Amino acid sequence: MHLVQQLLFVMVLAAAVYLFARKVREIRRNILLGRDVSLNDNPGERWRNVLLLAFGQKKMFRNPLVAVLHFFVYAGFIIINAEILEIILDGAIGTHRLFASPLGSLYPVLIGCFEILAVLVLSGCAIFLIRRNILKLKRFIGHDLDGWPRSDANYILITEIVLMVLFLTMNTADQVLQSRGSEHYIATGNFWISGLLTPLLNGLSDSSLMALERGCWWLHILGVLAFLNYLPFSKHLHIILAFPNAYYADLRPKGKMENMPAVQKEVQLMLQPELAASEPPAEGIPKFGAKDVQDLTWKNLLDAYSCTECGRCTAACPANITGKKLSPRKIMMDTRDRAEEVGRALNKQGTFQEDGKALLRDYISEEELRACTTCNACVQECPVSINPLHIILQLRRHLVMEESSAPAEWNMMFGNIENNMAPWKFSPDDRDQWVVGS
């Protein structure tokens, strides 16, 4: 009987890991659809960002109360996963609480800590559910989240609550069985939380308790493995990608826009034609700006997969606050959705064939792009180092330079700068008129 359980466990574990690894490879391939940029300079500062922004969740603390709750859930989730190691070994070897005897009196202390964290995770998730569904905070009721994204958020919170309840129930049953001196349930000493809950289960018979303990054990580990495989399809992927995304975060001042060396060169040759003779002929026609996900950088796509749709960007966006269509969160969600769509086509056909769609217009409209003031509030607010502005500006470049699509007022502004050296129609000769009478 034991052997069957062990075999079953190893098979389920292997399947879960295999499926997860396959999806991870797929996401990696999708991210690398983006154009190449080198983001490996200053490793010191980059590791510092990983430490402060990802591990330390520095930006979350712009709102301390939520930050503390989120920190509980995050720390709880990571640390309780140390317990998963024991669970996996127990499952594979067929032991029960393998670490109890080598750790001795330290074991109940460790489990006690895990249990306290479990209670914190449970309460944190419960409060988050209330904030989303009862208090209906503004950033959680935006239309960007209609449909699947809103359910996704709730599924994640509910799953975490269920997993924690299973963990605590399992331990409580174990404690009762221990106190009855049941064979197989070795005495570990008192667990801090489940030790208090034993009166709830005292009325049950040994066999029901064992069934309950085993049931919870299986459901818990199956739940964890299922959750692992849910991650890559969910906004919750941020628990993994927040780390690389912090490492590859832009280190330059936020005000700096990416240069376009191709245009720089072209204008240089126009202004200094004498250089053209020594210039090697250009290779192909360069593309200006971005129309689809392949034109964005891989960091933009990593950003999209790192987004957990919290909406801090959109809540700070001046365009969104004043009722415009632009929502930086939607920019990121659209980018991921399009990358996934292209990825699905790749899965089917092996190579990507034009599907008549693009990120621009099929997902993100001109109206959204036009409303951006480039104020960087979205970039500033993002706790996981996402830069929606970089995507917006690349799409704008495509609109203006590839399609000559700009509002009439902008075309006038371009013309004025070109002809009068100022965005307004003033004579360049009047530029120093203010001096008169100074």
Partner 1 sequence: MTIKTMAEYAASGETPEVLFWVGCAGSFDQRAQKITKAFATILDKAGIRFAILGKEESCTGDPARRAGNEFIFQMMAQNNIQVLNGYGVKKIVTACPHCFNIFKNEYPELGGNYEVLHHTSFLQQLIDEGKIKMTEGGTFKGRRITYHDSCYLGRANNIYEAPRKVLEALDAELVEMKRCRSKGLCCGAGGAQMFKEEEKGITRVNFERGREAVDTGATVIAANCPFCMTMLTDGVKEQGKEDSVQVLDIAEIVAKQLGD
Q: Does the protein bind partner 1 through residue 110 (CB under 8 A)?
A: no
Instruction: Give the count of beta carbons closer than 10 Å to the beta carbon of residue 350.
Output: 8
Residue 378: CB minimum distance to partner 1, A: 10
Total site size for partner 1, rule CB under 8 A:
68
Indicate the SS3 state at residue 203. coil
Q: Which stretch binds partner 1 (CB under 8 A): 20-28, 72-80, 231-239, 266-274?
A: 266-274
Q: Does the protein bind partner 1 through residue 332 (CB under 8 A)?
A: no
Residue 250: CB minimum distance to partner 1, A: 12
Q: Which stretch binds partner 1 (CB under 8 A): 107-115, 170-178, 239-247, 411-419?
A: 411-419
Q: How far lies 376's CA from each of 13, 195, 320, 390, in Å? A: 44, 51, 13, 10
Report the run of H or E that residue 435 belongs to, with start and end: none
Q: Does the protein bind partner 1 through residue 422 (CB under 8 A)?
A: yes
Residue 323: CB minimum distance to partner 1, A: 3
Instruction: For residues 315 and 140, give the distance between their C-alpha atoms in angstroms, rounded to a whole number.
Output: 10
- C-alpha atoms less than 13 angstroms from C-alpha of 184 in its C-beta half-sphere: 13
Which residues 292-331 are close enough to bind partner 1 by CB under 8 A? Answer: 316, 318-319, 321-326
Contacts with partner 1, 198-237, as mask; x by CB under 8 A: ----------------------------------------
Q: What is the DSSP string of 225-287?
A: HHHHHHGGGSGGGHHHHHHHHHHTS--S-TTPPPP-HHHHHHHHHHH-GGGGGGSPPP-SPPP
Which residues 365-384 are close enough to bind partner 1 by CB under 8 A? Answer: 367, 370-377, 379-380
Which residues 349-368 are close enough to bind partner 1 by CB under 8 A? Answer: 367
**What angle separates helix 298-306 from helix 388-403, to the nearest 10 degrees?**
130
Residue 386: CB minimum distance to partner 1, A: 15
- Please say which residue, 260 or 346, places its beta carbon nearer to partner 1: 260
Closest to 303 measured CA to CA, from 248, 239, 347: 248
Identified binder of partner 1 from the candidate list 252, 273, 274, 278, rule CB under 8 A: 252
Q: Does the protein bind partner 1 through residue 61 (CB under 8 A)?
A: no
- C-alpha atoms less than 13 angstroms from C-alpha of 204 in its C-beta half-sphere: 18
Cβ(300)–Cβ(364) under 8 Å? no
Which residues 271-290 are close enough to bind partner 1 by CB under 8 A? Answer: 271, 288-289
Residue 261: CB minimum distance to partner 1, A: 9
Residue 106 amino acid letter: L
Residue 360: CB minimum distance to partner 1, A: 12
Identified binder of partner 1 from the candidate list 61, 192, 243, 410, rule CB under 8 A: 410
Sequence-distant (≥ 6) Cβ neighbours of residue 379 within 8 angstroms:
254, 313, 386, 387, 388, 389
Instruction: For residues 438 and 430, give the distance between their C-alpha atoms in angstroms, rounded to a whole number.
Output: 15
Q: Write down the residue that tokens 């399947």 correspond to.
A: 15
Q: How far lies 260's CA from each of 52, 265, 393, 397, in Å? A: 31, 9, 12, 10
Which residues 167-196 are close enough to bind partner 1 by CB under 8 A? Answer: none
Instruction: For residues 5 and 123, give the distance between their C-alpha atoms in angstroms, rounded to a whole number.
Output: 33
Instruction: For residues 136 and 208, give the distance between their C-alpha atoms in angstroms, rounded to a whole number.
Output: 41
- Please say which residue, 208 or 380, places its beta carbon nearer to partner 1: 380
Identified binder of partner 1 from the candidate list 24, 37, 260, 346, rule CB under 8 A: 260
Q: Which stretch binds partner 1 (CB under 8 A): 42-50, 188-196, 216-224, 261-269?
A: 261-269
Q: Does the protein bind partner 1 through residue 64 (CB under 8 A)?
A: no
**Which tokens hold the place of 189?**
């000493």
Q: What angle do CA 238, 239, 245 make, to 5 degrees?
A: 55
Cβ(156)–Cβ(78) under 8 Å? no
Q: Which stretch binds partner 1 (CB under 8 A): 140-148, 179-187, 222-230, 400-408?
A: 400-408
Identified binder of partner 1 from the candidate list 50, 125, 246, 399, rule CB under 8 A: 399
- Please say which residue, 164 or 296, places its beta carbon nearer to partner 1: 296
Which positions lie near partner 1, rule CB under 8 A?
Answer: 62, 252-257, 259-260, 263-264, 266-268, 270-271, 288-289, 316, 318-319, 321-326, 367, 370-377, 379-380, 393, 396-401, 406-407, 409-410, 412-414, 417-418, 421-424, 426, 428-435, 438
